[in-house]
């Protein structure tokens, strides 16, 4: 995921997840901040772990809050896009199935005529 301008301003160059791990890359000497990632419980769990790791990395309290807010918003947007894509794919499959059924019904009508 591409970091927001505020995150870039604070030195975060990349935000991504690997399985159950959320990684924030900092431009400084390839340093990374890693924490547990739970996309089913973003706010309660992931934010808590992220705050803890940011505090260990000597981020100020205001930087921790801004970073957590920005990252959680990015993750929510990403999840919403995934859900939208899944829904669109399901809709395409339903449309294709309906088209096939319509064609079958049309062929039946032609045979009965």
Q: What is the pTM of this model?
A: 0.72
Quick one: tokens of 93? 């499959």
Instruction: Render pLDDT for 86-106 as a digit per residue (tens, 0 to 9).
Output: 999 999 999 999 999 999 999
Instruction: Render pLDDT for 64-75 as a digit per residue (tens, 0 to 9).
Output: 999 999 998 888
Angle in degrees, CA 84, 85, 91, rounded to 5: 90
Q: Point out the residues of the chain with pLDDT beneath 70.
A: 113
């Amino acid at each position: 995921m591409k970091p927001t301008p505020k995150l870039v301003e604070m030195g975060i160059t990349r935000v991504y997840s690997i399985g159950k791990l959320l990684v924030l890359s900092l431009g400084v000497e390839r340093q990374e901040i890693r924490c547990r990632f739970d996309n089913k419980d973003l706010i309660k769990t992931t934010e808590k772990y992220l705050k803890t790791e940011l505090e260990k990395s000597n981020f100020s309290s205001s930087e921790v809050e801004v970073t957590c807010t920005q990252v959680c918003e990015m993750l929510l947007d990403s999840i919403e896009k995934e859900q939208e894509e899944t829904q669109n794919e399901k809709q395409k499959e339903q449309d294709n199935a309906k088209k096939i059924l319509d064609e079958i019904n049309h062929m039946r009508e032609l045979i009965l005529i």
